[in-house]
Structure 1
């Protein structure tokens, strides 16, 4: 299966994705890691020019894993439909389900604290400011998806429950 976890920076995507992938024995593909590698290798000159390249690399890696019979979880913002569409098409090509999980954090103060206080866990990863996160526009998610609020409760258990339904 293909699992796509999306949401604004700082909502807890990577934290939840790591735990869900581990619980399911799925490969965890983090688009941030692909984007940082592109910059580190000098394949793109600045973060502003990364564009869809990180998503394209994650898509290729997901295709390789799915071909080998490995479940895949992709972790990225997925703020526009154009970023989500290729992953839906990939699942169709493989004849497998795609499970969409959109993470939100309804506690604005907590979300801001996470954005402002979290350390970069990838060398060279430049994290967005709270102002950049708030200014980001997210397209409507038209694909059937589960919304998990990371402001309270156990978002990993909620995500796993949604995947098992």
Structure 2
């Protein structure tokens, strides 16, 4: 048996031992929750592996190097790859891809986003204004859009720092209608 097989068999035995130990837990609710947690994780892995098998089947006779990007693009498979540190792209690449996905949406709103860098798991994004403030969303909306997109592509980021958020948002500009300042005649 190969070394990898021994490791796998050992992990299976360990899992079985831990599940058996749940029977000895004095809190039935805690034991039930732990069993359900294991079941959910297994089901999630099963869904991701099903998607993986479908993608492999669809690849057919295509060159092998076309498969990793397809696997990484699938949300279920991407999550599994990230969970097990098998994703083909590093954090900086995935953070850049998240911004690439968001860039057209932000451009319509008069905001430009650039990846300033990634250090120790923290992603730094710089925002600049590129249009009229009247088109720009609030700082809160901008932050949420960036966080959600980054979380989808790079959930392993430990922090997100957004420079220029207040300046790039439309929150600071206040419009006063001309009728409010014109003299009543």
Superposed pair shares fold, TM > 0.5: no
Tell me: higher relative CO, structure 1 or 2? Use CA pairs within 8 A at least 6 residues apart: 1
- When you count helix as a share of all residues, which structure comes out higher? 2
TM-score, structure 2 as length reference: 0.25
Greater Rg over alpha carbons, structure: 2
